[in-house]
Structure 1
């Protein structure tokens, strides 16, 4: 095992540990240690609803960001198909499955809250009692938002509204595509990205408003998908860019062209017997 480092100014970024022809940066090791520590803390204190929801939400944000960084959609047509199908899926498991289950409860809620949960609601966005003495297992697949107004009325119990990761990731794929399309078209103001992000915020507020007015859980995608899809499509039509926005044909052409100089330099370095950094 050997240690290697770069210049003093870049020591934190390039200091690495090598073992058997494999090298790992110290920064990656420290990051892995922090991630493992946070995961273990959540696993130990997952049933303590007084504060563990903060750590669960942080883990959820990291998971969603990593997913959106890893997966990308190449055009608006795929976005429409994917979001529409998942909208039907969400509505089915929220509004239809209660008629098919013996206890009349939504399958989506039971999966989100975990086995044995006694949550109140019928969708990905529900109200659940935060009883710190409860023994049922909680799954880290939802964002938990505490209702402080309910806490003020009952200091012994905390209530949460929950939002599934899918309600963040699925519309987020469209928001990410809008950002890439802005880059491709050279829109310095990021008009597609900002408009789609605002539409997502409006859809989320509408979801919680309907939930509070109807006093029952709502499938978030029922409001998020139309808001984001319609806003993006109308904007593309107004700017007369819908054909390019629909096909997305130029997005990966730009990415491929940006990689060509890097590939040529690498090939030149190999052919000359010199490795380029």
Structure 2
């Protein structure tokens, strides 16, 4: 079932399954800025990545010596969320741990995802709550895919501007795992082409600095801005060699396992920790024009 929210500028639908953004329409031009989800290329549109982002090495992890198995990006994207609050311009979804999740991930949690409209901007908020008295560890990430091209433009007419303008570390991927040792320098402008994703996602180390990603083209004024105030990283990705007509701009508060991990989940690179009864809050913004 899909939930609808709107204001004078935007019309948005979100599926209860996975609390996944399904459409993002600018009322002024009638354009849906979100990828269609064509399974020939990539069958999702904007999945939430929880309680891990990316892959576990060999698909497994260890917590206090016990082995657990979880697929790429975790399980939240494939579960039904409950609508806790719905207004004309916002909606709050909630997912709680249960016997099924505890078999894959040994922590109790309450995970909330809030969508809220403000003018031409969609604000996406996350809250991870630890209801237990014990510590918990988790990963979190966003994965929105934006339709490219829009209007009279070609895929290769697009570029990504990153502000503030500076050189940032880029973390390579090897077989879906992060190489956090052999980083390279990445510039603040990325020319978009299908070939640029031949080695998987481009991962920028943001260092929790407020950062804006602007996806634009040289032929018209249609574009998207994604702002993140404090994510640790951001992934830029599209399907390859299948030439999907989309670009993902993904704020991440954690990462896939590194090539060098021993699988100890509590010592996972770039993980997040909550003590008993603590909570974690994060958000990012999508603005269309």
Q: Which TM-score applies when normalising by structure 1?
A: 0.22
More helix by share: 1
Structure of higher CA gyration radius: 1
